[in-house]
């Protein structure tokens, strides 16, 4: 028997139209990411130790576009 994932919505998501949100699930050995508007579609999966560098990469790219 498998334990269902607990999905957590991004703290950057808000209410309103055009809400583009992601959700994450912390699994035993990796972190899964999915689109909150399409929860049954494919997910991205990262080894736990690779998730923080992935986020930092996204943040640095976002900052460079400002």
How far apart CA 61 and CA 66 sit, in angstroms, is 9
Q: pTM (2 decimals)?
A: 0.69
Q: Tens digit of pLDDT for each residue in 5-57?
A: 799 987 776 665 656 788 999 988 999 999 888 889 999 999 999 999 988 99
Q: Write out the two tokens for 54.
A: 């992935």
Task: Tally the C-alpha atoms within 13 A of residue 16's C-alpha that lie toward its C-beta.
Answer: 5
Is 46 exposed, middle or buried, given 0-12, 13-18 or 19+ CB atoms closer than 10 A? middle
Greater model confidence, 55 or 62: 55
How far apart CA 58 and CA 22 sit, in angstroms, is 13
pLDDT in the model for residue 14? 64
């Amino acid at each position: 028997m498998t334990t269902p994932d607990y999905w957590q919505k991004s703290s950057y998501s808000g209410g309103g139209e055009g809400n583009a949100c992601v959700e994450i699930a912390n699994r035993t050995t990796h972190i899964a990411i999915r689109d909150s508007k399409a929860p049954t579609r494919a997910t991205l999966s990262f080894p736990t130790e690779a998730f923080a560098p992935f986020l930092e990469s996204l943040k640095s790219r976002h900052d460079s576009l400002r």
